[in-house]
Structure 1
Amino acid sequence: MFTSVRYVIRENTQNMYRIFSIAKYELLADMRDSKLGWFWNFANPAIQVMTYWFVFGYVFNRKSVGHIPYLLWMLGGMVVWFFISPCITDGCNAVFKKIDVITKMKFPVSVLPMTVVLQKLFDHFCLMIILIVVFALYGYYPTWHWIGLIYYLLCAIIFAVSLSLTTSVLNMLARDTRKLILACMRLLLYLTPILWDIDKLGHGRLMKLMTCNPIYYVVQGFRDCFFYHKGIMAYSWSMGWFWGITLVLFFFGSYMMYKFKTRFIDLI
């Protein structure tokens, strides 16, 4: 098990330039297919945010969550979802998408999930620009508490890579894996307290169970940096579950990647 972890970490650290190059190529390739290029990196998340705000904010008449305007509160969570969700869905297909490269040359397969996450990181920064502008219009300006976003973004990256290590291999073993992931992500959007306030559940067992969700930990962390300023240790329960689940996924994903590193061609 530890051999596989060392293998994955070493392969990723030794191929950092290759990871950046692949991510940059994929990003530019997506823009090359569109005449408007970078415009869609801003337009797509903006359109989705306004759609969710119209449905959950305007139609259901949700003006605020506590003292925070609902649009800002929702955007504080959606900025996380728009990063993690495509990282997970595209990360699941990371190895299969590059099968033509793997079959023609010796390639460090374990770096592929990281290339996907790095590519989606650019889209995340685009949405963060939109978020800062909207927050400023409502009178919410960056403070030193926003420094905590670095930690929570790192959490999101590690979680997405850890999960993708496993699902990208499983997707090679069974193509239904990606379809299952896509279905689960649609469900998870509504089960994760992104569009609704978790305090509505009270403080019973159901709420405890919901806070075990690793994505919830990152979402709540972002909102804490934006609005609540409680600090990292205020969410120790969710933190414990997050790092426990993430480490299990990373160890298992590394084991799967190491075990099948020479067999991907046979799985085509």
Structure 2
Amino acid sequence: MKDIIKIIKEIFSSRRVVLRIAKYNNDQAYRNNYLGDFWHFADPALQIGVMLFMFAMRMGDNYKNPHAHGIQGYVAWIALGMITYFFMQSSMTKSANSIKRQLNLLAKMNFALSAIPLTEIITELRRYFVMLGMVMFLILFTDVKPTIWWFQFIYYFIAMIIFLYALSLVTSTITVLVPDFYNAYVAILRVGMWLSGVIIPIDGPAFPIVISNILKINPLYYIIEGFRETLLENPQGFWEKPSDIIVFWGIVIILLIVGSHIHIRFRNRFIDFV
């Protein structure tokens, strides 16, 4: 617990620098392109368009998805799941390699190493919000109407950010200590979309109950399904599923404890491993 408190203090004291670095990363992303920030909109729009064409048009039958009604419902369902997963996948990939990639530069600065993974997560938020805005616009063309339950989105968003950072503390440290870990981690994330209920509902008829219950332990599924229930389906309060809350936050707390401990223990020796 002492390690977690120390990490939280470091993040709080570095918050302004984290935001500046994230802004700098976004500004540099398309600096040499004539259209500049336009690609922050064009690139996500192209991704969503291709995804919907490849999956929604072929898999939009009602009987395959008990959560979506008709092709419009399925388009919104799959688009919301995909942008959430792509944001988490990109954040997890970049944050895992963040300390190793920037250590030589940031080691010379008065900047907490524990805040480096967070800069990558925040950097990805601009793209995520652009894609989320597109999907929200798409949802308005379905039968779904905005309700007060949409404010529950805030809970799942905060849960997503905390989970991503807790995981990044573990993965960014292990990536420095064990170089082969990063390649294996990226390979797992490539198939994670199929195990997180993004394309096919894991509580549908395609999955046996035992396998479905195991896959539901995945924190990514908890977040993706939470967004879908909040914005698309008949919503229910997140507090109405206490077992899911216990499992998700239990995993997050374990990641925070382990990640904080190994990060603080080894960070003074990071430069030796790199």
Give 1:13's aligned amino acid.
Answer: F
Give the corresponding residue for 1:195.
199
From the superposition, tell whether residues 19 and 245 of structure 1 become closer, same or farther in structure 2 (CA, over 3 Å). Answer: same
Give the aligned CA root-mean-square deviation in angstroms.
Answer: 1.9
- 1:153-195 Cα offsets, whole Å, 9 max, x none, are 1011001000101111111112222211211111111111111
How many aligned positions are there? Answer: 267
Counterparts of residues 33-72 of structure 1 (less than 5 Å): 33-60=32-59, 62=61, 65-67=67-69, 69-72=73-76
Partners in 2 of 1:66 and 1:160 — Cα distance?
Answer: 28
Give the corresponding residue for 1:170.
174
Percent identity over paired residues: 28
> Where in structure 2 are there 5+ consecutive unaligned residues?
none
Give the corresponding residue for 1:6.
5
> Where in structure 1 are there 5+ consecutive unaligned residues?
none
- The question of whether the paired residues in 2 share the 8 Å contact of 1:42 and 1:130 is answered with no
From the superposition, tell whether residues 134 and 41 of structure 1 become closer, same or farther in structure 2 (CA, over 3 Å). Answer: same
- The question of whether the paired residues in 2 share the 8 Å contact of 1:192 and 1:213 is answered with yes
65-74 or 148-157: bigger deviation: 65-74
Partners in 1 of 2:11 and 2:107 — Cα distance?
Answer: 20
Give 1:156's aligned amino acid.
Answer: M
Moved runs in structure 1, 4+ residues, more than 6 A? none
Give the corresponding residue for 1:263.
269
Deviation at 1:121, TM superposition (A): 1.4
Partners in 1 of 2:188 and 2:208 — Cα distance?
Answer: 26
Deviation at 1:91, TM superposition (A): 0.6
Secondary structure of residue in 1 paired with 2:76: helix
- 1:201-257 Cα offsets, whole Å, 9 max, x none, are 467221111111100000111011112212213433322211111111111111111
- The question of whether the paired residues in 1 share the 8 Å contact of 2:60 and 2:74 is answered with no
Give 1:67's aligned amino acid.
Answer: H
TM-score, structure 1 length as denominator? 0.92
Deviation at 1:117, TM superposition (A): 1.1
From the superposition, tell whether residues 221 and 60 of structure 1 become closer, same or farther in structure 2 (CA, over 3 Å). Answer: closer
- The question of whether the paired residues in 2 share the 8 Å contact of 1:102 and 1:265 is answered with no
Give 1:9's aligned amino acid.
Answer: I
Give 1:52's aligned amino acid.
Answer: M
Partners in 2 of 1:212 and 1:110 — Cα distance?
Answer: 27
- The question of whether the paired residues in 2 share the 8 Å contact of 1:45 and 1:82 is answered with no
Partners in 1 of 2:152 and 2:92 — Cα distance?
Answer: 23
Give 1:150's aligned amino acid.
Answer: I
Partners in 1 of 2:215 and 2:202 — Cα distance?
Answer: 8
TM-score, structure 2 length as denominator? 0.90
- The question of whether the paired residues in 2 share the 8 Å contact of 1:213 and 1:238 is answered with no
Counterparts of residues 85-234 of structure 1 (less than 5 Å): 85-201=89-205, 204-227=209-232, 228-234=234-240
- 1:129-173 Cα offsets, whole Å, 9 max, x none, are 111221123354433211111110101100100010111111111
Partners in 2 of 1:61 and 1:220 — Cα distance?
Answer: 18
